[in-house]
């Protein structure tokens, strides 16, 4: 597995810890299996201000947004970009007829398939894995797997954008909006550029770079980035703000006007339908 793919085991380890709390926000009963020992080693190595509570908040925010998008928007095709060790296919309450596409590097998908080989697929839903490099053309592979561009899609880009250079981030987000039917939804997260540069982040950033998966991209203006890439922004939330706290965030949330603050942003975007455009 490539170095960057091991970070999927790191985030799975954080989900395992949340799952094992008495006051858990979600249950991911597969997380400990897919994290393996390396996930917990990385959790220790990348320990930093707020990593574990942030990952619990990110998972919870996205779980709820995913469930809402399929329930309210009637979306039946879900694409998890850089799915890593995400087990939402197994653990979320999907409506019948949903197809979940999991896109990631080939070695990660093979390792995950081996680890979950004994898990029966829940009834009424389908899971398809697609081996890709998201910095190259990949939509052809997704179409071959059965995805239909003319129907609305729920895209989830969780824990990926900071690994990519800015041109690749913009190309990916624009590619998604360009290939999405009206009514599609995009969920994900991005960090501030200050998070890359702040001296307090240095040990964490150095460890990531030493391991071969440096963080490269951040922005102070996620709304602008998303809009410029063709998306209508429904909301952007920092951990600790209303709708992205869940009783887990232990720090104050500095106002957006304060410059130079390491931040994470969770976002929900959509492509308006004809009716919304006309309104």
Ligand X SMILES: C[S@@+](CC[C@H](N)C(=O)[O-])C[C@H]1O[C@@H](n2cnc3c(N)ncnc32)[C@H](O)[C@@H]1O
Select from 44-52, 78-86, 191-199, 257-265 the region that touches ligand X (CB under 6 A): 78-86
Dihedral sign from CA coordinates of 110, 115, 117, 120 = negative
CB of 84 to ligand X, least distance (A): 2
| CA end-to-end distance (rounded Å), the chain | 48
134 interacts with ligand X by CB under 6 A:
yes
Contacts of 50 (CB under 8 A, 6+ apart): 239, 249, 250, 251
SS3 label, residue 28: coil
The footprint of ligand X on this chain (CB under 6 A) covers a number of residues equal to: 21
Segment 2 to 31, residues that bind ligand X, using CB under 6 A: 4-5, 7-8, 11
169 interacts with ligand X by CB under 6 A:
no
Is 15 or 125 the residue whose CB approaches ligand X more closely?
A: 15
CB of 161 to ligand X, least distance (A): 10
135 interacts with ligand X by CB under 6 A:
yes
244 interacts with ligand X by CB under 6 A:
no
Site of tokens 């596409």: 101
d(CA 155, CA 81): 7
Is 7 or 201 the residue whose CB approaches ligand X more closely?
A: 7
239 interacts with ligand X by CB under 6 A:
no
SS3 label, residue 12: helix
CB of 86 to ligand X, least distance (A): 5
Selected binder of ligand X within 53, 84, 188, 262 (CB under 6 A): 84
In terms of phi and psi (left: phi > 0; alpha: psi -120 to 50; beta: otherwise), the region of 73 is alpha
Torsion of CA 54, 223, 226, 7, to 10 degrees: -20
SS3 label, residue 2: coil
Selected binder of ligand X within 70, 76, 104, 265 (CB under 6 A): 104
Point out which residues bind ligand X (CB under 6 A): 4-5, 7-8, 11, 82-86, 104-105, 108, 132-135, 158-160, 163
């Amino acid at each position: 597995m490539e170095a960057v793919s091991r970070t999927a085991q790191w985030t799975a380890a954080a989900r395992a810890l949340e799952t094992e709390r008495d006051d858990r926000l979600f249950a991911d009963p597969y997380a400990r299996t897919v994290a393996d020992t390396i996930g917990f080693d990385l959790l220790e190595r990348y320990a930093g201000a707020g990593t574990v509570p942030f990952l619990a908040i990110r998972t919870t925010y996205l779980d709820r947004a995913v469930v809402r998008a399929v329930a309210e928007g009637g979306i039946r095709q879900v694409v998890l970009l850089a799915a890593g060790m995400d087990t939402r296919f197994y653990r979320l309450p999907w409506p019948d007829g949903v197809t979940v596409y999991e896109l990631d590097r080939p070695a990660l998908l093979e390792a995950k398939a081996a680890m979950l080989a004994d898990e029966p697929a829940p009834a009424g839903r389908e899971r398809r894995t697609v081996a890709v490099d998201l910095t190259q053309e990949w939509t052809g592979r997704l179409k071959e797997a059965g995805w239909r561009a003319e129907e609305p899609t729920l895209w989830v880009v969780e824990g990926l954008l900071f690994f990519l250079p800015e041109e690749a981030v913009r190309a990916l987000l624009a590619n998604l909006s360009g290939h999405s039917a009206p009514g599609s939804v995009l969920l994900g997260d991005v960090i501030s550029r200050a998070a890359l540069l702040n001296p307090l982040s240095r040990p964490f950033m150095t460890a990531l770079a030493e391991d071969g998966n440096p963080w490269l991209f951040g922005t102070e203006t996620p709304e602008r980035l998303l809009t410029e890439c063709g998306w209508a922004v429904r909301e952007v939330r920092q951990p600790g703000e209303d709708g992205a706290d869940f009783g887990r965030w232990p720090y104050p949330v500095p106002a957006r006007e304060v410059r130079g603050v390491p931040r994470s942003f969770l976002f929900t975007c959509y492509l308006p339908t004809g009716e919304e455009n006309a309104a």
